[in-house]
Structure 1
Amino acid sequence: MSKEEAAREAIKQALRALRKRHLLEEAAHAPALAALSRPFVSQGLEWKEKAESLEAELQQCYKAQSRLAEQLGSEVAETRSLKASLQEKEQAIESLERELTETREECLKLRAELDEKTRVVDLVLSENSEIKRQLEEMTLIAKKAEAENKTLIDRWMLQKMQDAERLNEANALYEDMMERLKANGLESLARQQVDGVVRRCEEGAEYFSESTFPSNCKNRIHAHEGGCAAILFECNSSRLITGGQDRTIKMWDTNTGSLARTLHGCLGSVLDLAVTHDNRSIIAASSSNNLYVWDVNSGRIRHTLTGHMEKVCAVDVSKISSRHVVSAAYDRTIKVWDLQKGYCINTIIFPSNCNTLCFGMDGHTICSGHVDGNLRLWDFQTGKLIHEVAAHSLSVTSISLSRNGNMVLTSGRDNLHNLFDIRTLEVCSTLRASGNRVASNWSRSCISPDDNYVAAGLADGAVHVWSISKGDIVSTLKEHTSSVLCCSWSSLGKPLCSADKSGIICTWT
């Protein structure tokens, strides 16, 4: 295309554009031209109506604007409140997030501790299981050992009894041989024994004075801690021997009330005492299942006599010889001991426990008082029961032999005191009193050396003295504040001594 043609074409396009613009301007100004072509009156009415309409619209717009302004204010206030609330919640969220973080850390720590504790518990459980297993094994071993121990003890006791029986047989054989070898010397031997008894009686008679019933307390001594259950006088002496729960033996001068000596070595409470007629040895029955023999001169223990299986509650020495001792325990046995050899030579078994016993004057008879209330007489060499009599309706607590050996005094839990003729075992007299109540199963009563009076302690702390011939109470001694457990009368005729549960000893003249 040439330049001219291009120019013509451009002019044509420009003309077309001008025409189009003119048409558009005419269309835009058409309403104005139409209005100008109408009369001015009609145009004024229309404008007035439009103005009123526009004013009404403007008022509506103002009202809408006011409402929108109020709504905007409330929305702004609510927005501020929501913003403040949002800030608080954001802070709370931050705090909760921190707490959550701390809680998670603590949870992790606790979980670690729990794991550690779980491991420890598992370890402890395993150790406990092992210990239980070991305990079961040890229990089985202990039961087996206990059974073996019981079997050994039974065998040992059986062996001891068999040994004692063999020893008794040997002694019997020896005595039989001696009787055959010395058949011609029996009369002289008996005369020597009788002369010995007579000489001892004469020695006692040299110091003896007639007993009078006591009425005054001469001495009040706190002898033992925890109670005193055993007292007796030395033979033909006013020196008193006492034993208590404090495991000591004490010797007292009753004239002055002073302590002369204390013997130690007993491993249990002293329940009964005996002294040899030469006053050289003291024997104590103990709750430790043993008997203890002291040498008075040295103050040392000569023998510890073992063999009883329960507490030893009674002991006595032969009136003929200082060699033989008898004891009773709560294992339902009486044992005969040889002090020269230091072991048991005979064992007597019976169905009811023995609370008290004593040797007869012949040195061959044992008198025993039992829980079943019976008085039994035994041959100490053979262990055979000689005689048995129902002495009390309840337990026998005490047995005392008269000086002449013809009467035996028994006291019982039925609160009676019976005097038996030992030759016939008939009751000669029964002593009782209103309110008389025996304190224990081992309450010891006694007979005066002249065989005229009986003294017994009571649970209320009093000591009753009866006249045997009259059968009445001639004196009631009141100085103790607790139950009186035992009484003992000096073989010299005075004084009388009593001991109570508080360990107090009173000397009465």
Structure 2
Amino acid sequence: MTTTFECGNWRDNILTQLQTRNRQETQLFQDVISQHNKVFENANRLYLENLQLSFQNEKLKADGGSLGSHSSSTVDIRLQERIQQLEQKLLANAEELTELHRRKGENAQQIIDLNALVQEKDKLIATKEVSLAESAAKIVSLQAEVSMYDQSNRELKYLNDALRDEHQALHLAFSSLEEKLRKVQDENRQLVERLIKYKAKDADRMNEENDNFLKNRSKKMLKEIEEACRDTRGTSPEALVEGLGPLYQFTVPTKLTLKFDAHESEVSAVKWSSVDRLIATGGADRKLKLWDISKGTCESKGSLVGSNAGVMAVDFDTSGTLVLGASNDYATRVWTISDQRLRHTLTGHSGKVMAAKFLGDASKVVTGSHDRTLKIWDLKSRACIETKFAGSSCNDLVTVDSAGSIIISGHFDKSIRFWDSRSESSANNIVLNGKVTSLDLTKDAKYLICCVRDDTLKLLDLRMNQVVVVFSCESFKVGCDWTRATFSPDGQYIAVGSADGSVYIWGVASAKVEKVLKEHTSSVTATAWCPYAAYLASVDRSRKAIIWSDNVI
């Protein structure tokens, strides 16, 4: 029953819609249709009248023929007039009929045009209905998405409230801990003051004991000296020299002793400490690392962090207590080795810092940068005290004397510049045949070795300020703009890395290649000699560091 009823409603609904549509569409053409009907009726009426008049005309003609001569001239005249009137009327009716047919055709064409317009409107309505359906579906989807975002927003508000409560709790806890810290600091200050007093007492007591010990020792030493003088009256000078022990002679390292991964990626710099068997390496992983090799193995002594870009140069101070690293983040940093804490951050350059050295004592540092300047820093005031404008990117620099009064820098424009710390401009320049990648001095500061991008090493005699020896060979290629070449501690050998992974060692006196060490698999960036033993360290662009020597460490 329900199905039948619903089916009947469906048909009635369709019928109602059709009737409504018929009324709406015919209402627009109602005037045209009524006018057309009137024209059609008028044409039918005129057509009937025309037939009647034709019939009457034929009848009159027949009547006129039968009358013949019996008709009078008057009747003929009237009949002719009547015929003419009827013909004129017939002609007028024919013209009116033609006009009505023409208007009928125009109305029919107008009906066709209006039907075409109705069809176009129907298509447009259908398109709009499809668009409305799509819009309705999109609205439903957007409403669902809005509901989802509302739910997410409520969850985020809940989470934000929870985090705010947690922050308040942590703030209260921090305030409490801060108050405890103040109390502990006050207590620590009191303990330190007490400790200082006790230390002062101990120092006084120790000084007193030392004074007594030194007095007793000096008396004893005087007696021993007198006895030694009496005993050495018959001793030869040769025996005295032999008593001093043999002086150490540096030899060319020939074999690999240690090989290890120094950094997570490219290693850019390596340096030996001047007081123990400790080396520092700087890498593209933004770290400066310390390695102890005194036990015959590579033992990590710490990773010094703080740089925001790769470390390009490292250096120890003369006492071996501080180490510095020049970084690509436009800054140079200084750490203490004992506690591995960052002590100074020297910022002021506007380009990569490629070179850095302690200037004389440990209180001053000189840096060279891609911003074409050299800067001298005072670590006590943590400020730049002097800027020297070189006019070209600095790749490396060295200091001539312990006081740091003379600085030599190598530059991208193929020049070596000499600077007096007391003057703003460079004293003189030496122009080479390629970009200068590194500089190193002999201990007596008489000779300077320059690594140049024309795949040569040039030895300068600083007393004459000219190149005296050029070191090169066919297979040696400089791998990058910061390839570091170094003198051996006795100044008899020069070590440098090549682009093919080999380490070349030249003899200074012979100007020949003494040894080629092959173990690296990528370009060697830097080398460094141990200052008190025949050990050579080299690092490459594939994170490897190698220690070379003639014996086991």
Q: 1:352 and 1:102, CA in 2 relative to 1: closer, same or farther beyond 3 A?
A: closer
Inter-partner Cα distance in structure 1 for 2:247 and 2:350: 41
Superposed displacement of residue 368, structure 1? 0.3
- 1:231 corresponding residue in structure 2: 270
Matches for 1:424-463 after TM superposition, within 5 Å: 424-463=464-503
- The counterpart of 1:296, out of the listed 326, 337, 342, is 337
Matches for 1:18-167 after TM superposition, within 5 Å: 107-111=128-132, 113=134
Inter-partner Cα distance in structure 2 for 1:354 and 1:373: 10
Report the AA paired with residue 406 of structure 2: T
- 1:284 corresponding residue in structure 2: 325
Superposed displacement of residue 112, structure 1? 6.5
- The counterpart of 1:216, out of the listed 245, 252, 255, is 255
Inter-partner Cα distance in structure 2 for 1:106 and 1:351: 73
Superposed displacement of residue 114, structure 1? 6.6
Residue 333 (structure 1) aligned with residue 391 (structure 2): no
- Is the CA contact (8 Å cut-off) linking 2:312 and 2:354 kept in structure 1? yes
- Is the CA contact (8 Å cut-off) linking 1:442 and 1:485 kept in structure 2? yes
Inter-partner Cα distance in structure 2 for 1:263 and 1:306: 18
Q: 1:479 and 1:460, CA in 2 relative to 1: closer, same or farther beyond 3 A?
A: same
- Is the CA contact (8 Å cut-off) linking 1:208 and 1:492 kept in structure 2? no
- Is the CA contact (8 Å cut-off) linking 1:208 and 1:493 kept in structure 2? no
RMSD: 2.5
Helix, strand or coil: the match of 1:474? strand
Q: What is the TM-score of this pair, normalised by structure 1?
A: 0.60
Residue 387 (structure 1) aligned with residue 467 (structure 2): no
- The counterpart of 1:253, out of the listed 292, 296, 299, is 292
Inter-partner Cα distance in structure 1 for 2:513 and 2:369: 33
Count of residue correspondences: 322
- 1:26 corresponding residue in structure 2: none
Inter-partner Cα distance in structure 2 for 1:494 and 1:230: 19
- 2:522 corresponding residue in structure 1: 482
Report the AA paired with residue 131 of structure 2: L
Q: 1:408 and 1:207, CA in 2 relative to 1: closer, same or farther beyond 3 A?
A: farther
Inter-partner Cα distance in structure 2 for 1:227 and 1:505: 10
Residue 272 (structure 1) aligned with residue 305 (structure 2): no
Inter-partner Cα distance in structure 1 for 2:247 and 2:134: 90
Inter-partner Cα distance in structure 1 for 2:338 and 2:264: 25
Report the AA paired with residue 241 of structure 1: A
Superposed displacement of residue 263, structure 1? 1.3
Superposed displacement of residue 259, structure 1? 1.4
Larger Rg: 1
Report the AA paired with residue 440 of structure 1: C
Per-residue CA distance 1:270-315 (angstroms, 9 max, x = gap): 0011111111111110000001110111211111100000110111
Where does the alignment leave 5 or more consecutive residues of structure 2 unmatched?
Answer: 1-120, 139-243
Question: Quick check: 361-370 or 408-417, which moved more?
Answer: 361-370
Inter-partner Cα distance in structure 2 for 1:331 and 1:103: 70
Residue 306 (structure 1) aligned with residue 347 (structure 2): yes
Q: What is the TM-score of this pair, normalised by structure 2?
A: 0.55
Q: Percent identity?
A: 31
Where does the alignment leave 5 or more consecutive residues of structure 1 unmatched?
Answer: 1-99, 118-204
Per-residue CA distance 1:382-434 (angstroms, 9 max, x = gap): 332112111x2110000001111111111010111111112221222211111
- 1:376 corresponding residue in structure 2: 417
- Structure ranking higher on relative contact order (CA contacts 8 Å, 6+ apart): 1
Report the AA paired with residue 329 of structure 1: S
- Is the CA contact (8 Å cut-off) linking 2:314 and 2:326 kept in structure 1? yes
- The counterpart of 2:542, out of the listed 494, 497, 502, is 502
Report the AA paired with residue 110 of structure 1: S
Report the AA paired with residue 395 of structure 1: K
Report the AA paired with residue 360 of structure 1: V
- Is the CA contact (8 Å cut-off) linking 2:270 and 2:539 kept in structure 1? yes
Question: Quick check: 334-343 or 105-114, which moved more?
Answer: 105-114
- 2:532 corresponding residue in structure 1: 492
Report the AA paired with residue 209 of structure 1: Y
Q: 1:220 and 1:207, CA in 2 relative to 1: closer, same or farther beyond 3 A?
A: farther
- Is the CA contact (8 Å cut-off) linking 2:389 and 2:425 kept in structure 1? no
- Is the CA contact (8 Å cut-off) linking 1:207 and 1:236 kept in structure 2? no
Helix, strand or coil: the match of 1:274? strand
- 2:389 corresponding residue in structure 1: 349
